[in-house]
Amino acid sequence: MKSKNTIIVTGGAGYIGSHTIIELLETTGFNVVSIDNFSNSSAKTFERIEKITGRKITNYEVDLCSKNNVEKIFEIEKNIAGVIHFAAYKSVGESVLNPYKYYHNNISSLLNVLECCLKSNIPNFIFSSSCSVYGNISQLPVKEDTPFGKAESPYAYTKQAGEEIIKDYTTAFNQLQAIALRYFNPVGAHISGLIGESPINKANNLVPIITNTAIGKIEQMTVFGNDYPTRDGTCIRDYIHVTDIAAAHIKAMMYLINSQNKSNYSIFNLGTGTGVSVLEAISAFEKISGQKLKYTIGSKRPGDVIAIYSDTAKSENELGWKPKFTLEEMMETAWKWELEQINPIPTS
Ligand code: WQD
């Protein structure tokens, strides 16, 4: 029998998926197969991954909510060592306005992929979770054993539910082991400037909005609230470079493959451990870009938590993972990617 040397990445053309594919190809011997229906991404991303890595990616353009179609992929693809499940909707604000979209997509796709893992006897599963599972929390930094807080948005609730579902699967089926990685706020772009956050849909996360404003796509940005109980009144987040997040997935997959895990289901925070306010993020961007950003103070955004940042001890000690990029480098690479949109580097 051939050794299991393929990793299935769902959402491979997405923001974190695409950066993780690059890390997988550049730092491991695995083949990568992606499943992405481009609902919030572009097929062009694969051309760019090819340009960076010199490797062609097989992608199945399939909606993960369609169980039959997903099953077909898992029947075709053999020798799968593990699945990294990124594909999901991720906008906090949109989920408050359109809960069905989030509950339907994020939960049914997860169930379909888990069922396929069981059917195909795939032992290793990694899930994109989020620090939003902690809710509004006063005890900072947050540790992995902090209980879930009240979900502040349907998006956050899909991540809490997703983790519970995976935990139940790993309890019921001993052949499956899993890790939930709780991302704090992934930002920045690949150092090549060739890939970054998708330009397909309207930006709604802070850093793309900052760079969109600086380039003039957005006339003026809004800071959502400045009377929070924080040092400057704006919300605090733990911004982390997307390439650091990508590298953590390789560590997590190897942790499972090398049986370093103490139980069938583990959780790790992926953050830097440093809280940064919205105004501090704006100021870091202004410093590296030399641009003065046009912004106004607006009302609070529904679903926002006040402040959150990560306790990094567990991911450092057990996964052996430590983020490398600084806030300035996060802003620099995000800005390079924004500039690349107006003056693209040819891919062939
Ligand atoms: C950051 C801060 C806004 C836009 C993200 C992801 C989510 C999850 C958790 C996982 C907030 C403020 C934003 C703007 C602003 N992580 N802001 N003006 O809500 O923390 O959620 O992290 O993977 O998937 O979406 O991130 O970037 O939207 O907001 O003032 O125009 O910036 O209020 O305080 P958020 P964000």
* 89-94-97-98 Cα dihedral, nearest 10 degrees: -20
Which active-site residues does the annotation give? 155
Could you say which DSSP state residue 142 is in? B
Closest Cα to atom 33, ligand 1: which residue? 224
Atom of ligand 1 nearest to the CA of 207: 27
Q: Report the separation in Å between the CA atom of 136 and the middle of ligand 1, taken as the mean of its atom positions.
A: 14
- 131, 269 contact by CB (below 8 A): yes
Q: How many CA atoms lie within 13 A of 181 on its CB side?
A: 29
Task: State the pTM of this model.
Answer: 0.96
How far is residue 6's CA from residue 44's CA, in Å, rounded to a whole number? 22
Task: From first to last of the 348 residues of the chain, give the pLDDT tens digit.
Answer: 457 899 999 999 999 999 999 999 999 999 999 999 999 999 999 999 999 999 999 999 999 999 999 999 999 998 999 999 999 999 888 899 999 999 999 999 999 999 999 999 999 999 999 999 999 888 999 999 999 999 989 999 999 999 999 999 999 999 999 999 999 999 999 999 999 987 677 888 999 999 999 999 999 999 999 999 999 999 999 999 999 999 999 999 999 999 988 899 999 999 999 999 999 999 999 999 999 999 999 999 987 889 999 999 999 999 999 999 999 999 999 999 999 988 776 665
Backbone dihedral region for residue 259 (phi beyond 0: left; psi -120 to 50: alpha; all else: beta): left
Which protein residues are within 6 Å of ligand 1, measured from CB? Answer: 90, 92, 130-132, 183, 185-186, 204-206, 209, 221-224, 235, 237, 278, 301, 304
Percent of the chain that is helix, strand, coil (3-state, to 5): 40, 15, 40
Write down the H helix ranges in the chain: 15-27, 44-53, 67-76, 92-97, 99-102, 108-119, 154-172, 206-215, 242-257, 278-289, 313-314, 327-342
Q: Report the separation in Å between the CA atom of 207 and the middle of ligand 1, taken as the mean of its atom positions.
A: 9
Q: Report the separation in Å between the CA atom of 55 and the middle of ligand 1, taken as the mean of its atom positions.
A: 33
- 93, 67 contact by CB (below 8 A): no
